[in-house]
Structures are given as C-alpha cells and as structure tokens.
Amino acid sequence: MKNIFLVKLAVFVPLLIILQGCGAVLEMRGAAVETGIVNVKPNLDEQAKKSDVFNRVNAIAVADISESLEGYPQDNILIYRAMTSELFSLLEESGRFEVVPPSRFREMMSTMRIKIDPRTMTDSEIDLAFQSVGKALNVHAVVVAGMDTEGNQTSMGKQFKYIGQIIKSGGITIDLKGELYVLRTRELETLWSQTSDLQWTSGSQGIQTLDTSRLREMMRDVLKPMVSELVSDHKD
C-alpha cells in the first residue's frame, strides 16, 4: 500500500450532506460527536526497515501535494496539510536528519511543473514524481505520509452501516490505514515503511470546525509512533 492520500474518503461527503437535511435533532447529535483521528493499532509491520541504505540517509524532504488536490473534500485537504506539517516537525525535532519542509517541496513541484493526482496516476508514477522532486532538492530521500480507507467503503452494506451510525449518534467512525514510507532519490527504492490502524470519527460538521492547533495535535499523535520507529531504526 502506497501513495494513500485520503482519496476514498470523498465518498462520505455526499452522504453527510444528505443526512444533514434530516433535521435539527441530527445536527444536535452531530455537534455532540467529538471529531477526531486516533491511532488504534500503531506500527503493524514487525520489520519496518527495508534497506541498509536507509542508515546512510541524512538529508530528507517531506512530500506535500496539497496544492494538487483541487476538487477534493475540504476535510481531506485539511487532514493532509496537518499531517505533512506535523511530519516535518517530528522529523526536525528528532535531530537525526537535515529536513526540507513541505513548503519547499511544493515550491519545487511548481518550478518543475509537476502535478500529482492520486485518482488518475499509478503508484509507480507518483513515486517517480517524488523521486524527481527529491533529486532536484538534492536530498537522499523523500518521506511520504498518508492514509486510506479499509476495504470497499462504497458497498451498500457499508453505506447502510454508516447511515445507521449517523441516525443513532449523529456521527460515523471509519476505519483507516495509515502509512509512512521513505523513498530513495538516487534510484527508485523504498528504504523504509510502516503502517498503522487508524479510526476517523466525524460529526455532522466534520474536521472544518476543529481549531487548527487541535487538528495538528491529533495528527502528531497519529504519526508519532511511526516516526519514533523510523528514527530508532536509523540509529541502528
């Protein structure tokens, strides 16, 4: 699993909008549901490190394609931006790497006129684009974070399940898979990767009602176990 940018979560936005029309009772229940994302089963892969080359990585860039996500649900974009910001902060705080921030990665993408759309591009095409930007930034590797829904979320069974949750409590809980991986820039190779089981609980108003600092705090909690293992493996 790679290049996961919350694409499939878009299927829930029309559902939430439709159900908001059910009346004030639903809106009150939705407001009472605490919106958030938590890491319920961190670091699922027993052996995260993929290559000995990883130990020689010193300069890294944090991938950020947020400016290429026009047309995506706002919740998805807000989550993704908070994720890349906190990933940069955690890596910089570790003191293990020279870290190029997401803003610089976006600037280089713009300079190189690279556009990434996870809906139409393959994993390999996206990785090649990341590799090209990483080379231009003169870093050893690019660090990529993302999340995706688990299983077929568009099935009738799943949709009725979520409708039932919303009618009962005003919110839904969606199972997600989070991933963090390190992509080598000298040649196309995954040097390190890790996954976690996450859950997104959302009320009728979604992520947009959250304070930015609170959203970043939640994404820090989601990412911290994986980043901690990344840093630990790099010390070996």
Q: Distance between CA 181 and CA 184 in Å, rounded?
A: 10
For 25-54, write each residue's pLDDT tens digit. Answer: 334 344 445 677 889 999 999 888 888 899
Global pTM? 0.80
pLDDT averaged over the chain?
79
Name the pLDDT band for 208 (thresholds 50, 70, 90). Answer: low
Contacts of 109 by beta carbon, 8 Å cutoff, 6+ apart:
65, 67, 68, 115, 116, 129, 133
pLDDT value, residue 206? 62
pLDDT value, residue 131? 97
Residue 56 has pLDDT above 90, yes or no: yes
Contacts of 146 by beta carbon, 8 Å cutoff, 6+ apart:
3, 4, 5, 6, 80, 83, 178, 179
